[in-house]
């Protein structure tokens, strides 16, 4: 493993001293809750809620979450997908995933060693962490783990946001297509979380350095406004690109 890759991996791994992905969540009545100063909380709830809805529509019998981290996505989808599993390279993240999801199979391993896979395989904010020289083999192994006639759901940060120091690259649609080829064909894609003045205002009202808004009626109203105005973006404004892909038939 290259030293620069170790450094970027370690930057992410060090964040797993706490299962931070569990902090942004929806209450029983669908109201978003943050409970801590998380500038990215509204952003996170946007793309994860959309991915979960896509998985509901696919309705797979099995799902493998690659780069599952602390198991937050699996914690939700296990309620409606019969068989779920996750894999990540971080021992700390997998320890939290197992603690929050004690009856789910998790692997702390390279995906090249996995067998089985799932009808649906997810890569949620993962491939930006993969070095260029490893990407070809990585996507080939992902393709091996997607069952015949299955689906791949991918979410990536876009070029509309500054490159994170943990990431090797951010994406536009052409780069994402080139990355997934020749193993997958993108069937549909969406730009999420419209960046701009209104988004900045909404985020500042919900959470800032002085307070965290936890008044449910107002939070619910702001989420509805977000759904109408800033939930979806486009190629120039979206902070995340989500795609639904199928194994290529060539």
Which CATH number characterizes residue 128's domain? 3.40.50.150
Res 90: pLDDT: 93
SS3 88: strand
Q: Is-contact 81 108, C-beta < 8 A?
A: no
Q: Which residues of the chain have pLDDT under 50?
A: 1-5
**Residue corresponding to tokens 């997607």:** 146
DSSP string, 17-63: GS-GGGSSEE-TTS-EE--S--TTHHHHHHHHHHHHHHHHHH--SEE
Rounded mean pLDDT of the chain? Answer: 92
Sign for the pseudo-dihedral over CA of 29, 195, 50, 13: negative
- Please report the pLDDT score of residue 138 as a whole number: 97
pLDDT digits over 93-108, tens only? Answer: 999 999 999 999 999 9
Q: Please report the pLDDT score of residue 31 as a whole number.
A: 81
Is the model's pTM score more than 0.75? yes
CA nearest to 153, candidates 133, 130, 136, 176? 176
Q: Check residue 250 and give its pLDDT.
A: 59
Torsions phi, psi for 248 (to 5 deg):
-70, 140
Q: How far apart are CA 168 and CA 38, in angstroms?
A: 23
In what helix (H) or strand (E) does residue 240 lie, and over which residues does it extend? strand 238-247
Structural domain boundaries, residue 170: 3-247
Tell me how far apart the alpha carbons of residues 13 and 211 are, in angstroms, rounded to a whole number: 28
pLDDT in the model for residue 22: 86
Phi, psi of 57 (to 5 degrees): -70, -35
Of 171, 195, 169, 188, the closest CA to residue 51 belongs to 188
What pLDDT sits at residue 28? 79
**Token pair for 191:** 């730009």
Tally of domains in the chain = 1
Q: How many CB atoms sit inside 10 A of residue 138's CB? A: 19
| DSSP H or E segment with residue 99 | helix 91-100
């Amino acid at each position: 493993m290259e030293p620069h890759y170790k450094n970027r991996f370690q930057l992410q791994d060090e964040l797993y001293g706490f299962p931070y992905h569990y902090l942004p969540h929806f209450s029983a009545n669908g109201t978003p809750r943050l409970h801590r100063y998380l500038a990215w909380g509204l952003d996170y709830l946007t793309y994860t809620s959309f991915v979960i809805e896509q998985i509901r529509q696919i309705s797979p019998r099995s799902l493998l979450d690659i780069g599952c981290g602390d198991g937050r996505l699996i914690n939700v989808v296990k309620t409606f997908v019969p068989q779920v599993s996750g894999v990540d390279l971080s021992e700390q993240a997998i320890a939290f995933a197992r603690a929050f999801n004690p009856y789910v199979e998790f692997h702390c391993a390279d995906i090249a060693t996995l067998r089985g896979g799932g009808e649906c395989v997810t890569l949620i904010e993962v491939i930006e962490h993969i070095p260029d020289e490893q990407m070809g083999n990585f996507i080939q192994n992902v393709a091996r783990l997607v069952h015949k006639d299955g689906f791949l759901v991918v979410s990536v940060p876009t070029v509309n946001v500054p490159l994170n120091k943990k990431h090797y690259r951010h994406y536009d649609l052409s780069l994402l297509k080139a990355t997934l080829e020749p193993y997958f064909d993108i069937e549909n894609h969406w730009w999420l979380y419209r960046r701009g003045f209104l988004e900045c205002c909404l985020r500042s009202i919900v959470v800032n350095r002085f307070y965290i808004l936890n008044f449910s009626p107002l939070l619910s109203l702001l989420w509805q406004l977000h759904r109408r105005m800033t939930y979806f973006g486009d190629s120039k404004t979206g902070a995340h690109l989500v795609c639904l892909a199928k194994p290529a038939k060539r």
